[in-house]
Structures are given as C-alpha cells and as structure tokens.
C-alpha cells in the first residue's frame, strides 16, 4: 500500500463550499501519479514520455463525507489486480483518519504511439505486484 496527501484548494470547491466531486475524481489520478514517484520509483511523466500510458476504462467512486477547503486528504493506493495489459487500483480517502471516499479504477496499459493495449512491462509488473493487497485473490 502507498499513501499520499492532497491539500484541498479553494479552486476545488463547488457553490456549496465543499470539494466538487469531479475534483475528487481528479485526486485519484494525482494519487496514481504520486504512486509512480513514491512507489514505482520513476515519475509518471517520465514513463508517459517513454510511450506507456494508463487510460482509465472504468471508475467507481463512493462519497462518504464532505471534503472541505483546507482539508488534507490522505489517499491510500492499493493495487488489487495486475493483468496482462491492465491494472485495478483501490483508493481510500480520509481526512483526520475519517473516511471521506472509496474508489476503484481499472486502467489499460497502452502504447501511446498507437493507443493500442500492450503487455505491462516486467519492471512495472514487479512494482505493481509489490503494492498488491495481500488479501486479494492470487493472480494467474
């Protein structure tokens, strides 16, 4: 598991004064990018420039409690599944130890030159598998 923290900025708010839900969805990708720097060991922009992308094909998100201006949202990033050319990631957001959202996304690994699925390179597979939830079912 990997954890990162995102500060809720004024521009993240909606008219009700709480974090606008699409901004919280953006936090998932910010956490994914932080996962690359903090766990994979290479910044996501570097991997992207090498032609490897991870577009999301499915996202589910449950909002548990409002997120406010100035909150520091801690996001736990856990890999649930590593496939041949896809990964499934779980995100759990909390503020002060109190859960504010849960999310899951599936991303396909693509060659950015052709935008076609590609096998997850072995070095990335190893880093993703190292962040896999030990309680998740075994991978083939």
Q: How confident is the model at residue 1 (pLDDT cuts 50, 70, 90)?
A: confident
Q: What is the rounded distance in angstroms from the CA atom of residue 130 to the CA atom of residue 111?
A: 23
Q: What is the pLDDT of residue 84?
A: 96
Q: Say if strands 52-53 and 116-117 run parallel, antiparallel, or are unpaired.
A: unpaired
Task: Give this prediction's pTM.
Answer: 0.91
What count of residues does the chain have? 140
Q: Return the residue matching tokens 């849960």.
A: 102
* Domain range list for the chain: 2-50+63-79+88-101+122-130
* Helical H segments across the chain, by residue range: 21-35, 44-49, 122-130
Q: Residue 19 gets which letter from DSSP?
A: B
Q: What is the rounded distance in angstroms from the CA atom of residue 57 to the CA atom of residue 86?
A: 10
Give the N- to C-terminal CA distance of the chain in Å, as an integer.
21
Report residue 123 CA to chain centroid gap: 19
Report residue 126 CA to chain centroid gap: 17
Architecture of domain 2-50+63-79+88-101+122-130: Roll (3.10)
Tokens, residue 132: 């896999």
| pLDDT tens figures, 85-126 | 999 999 999 999 999 999 999 999 999 999 999 999 999 999
Q: How confident is the model at residue 75 (pLDDT cuts 50, 70, 90)?
A: very high
Q: Say if residue 12's pLDDT is above 90.
A: yes
Report residue 50 CA to chain centroid gap: 20
């Amino acid at each position: 598991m990997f954890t990162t923290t995102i500060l809720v900025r004024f521009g993240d708010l909606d008219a009700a004064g709480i974090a606008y839900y699409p901004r919280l969805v953006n936090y998932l990708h910010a956490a994914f990018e932080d996962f690359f720097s903090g766990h994979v060991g290479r910044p996501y922009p570097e991997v992207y420039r090498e032609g490897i992308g991870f577009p999301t094909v499915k996202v589910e998100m449950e909002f548990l409690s409002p997120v406010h201006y100035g909150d520091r949202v801690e996001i736990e990033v856990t890999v649930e599944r590593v496939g041949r050319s896809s990964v499934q990631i779980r995100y759990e957001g909390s503020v002060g130890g109190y859960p504010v959202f849960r999310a899951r996304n599936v991303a396909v690994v693509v060659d950015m030159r052709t935008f076609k699925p590609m096998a997850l390179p072995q070095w990335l597979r190893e880093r993703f598998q190292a962040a896999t939830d030990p309680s998740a079912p075994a991978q083939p």
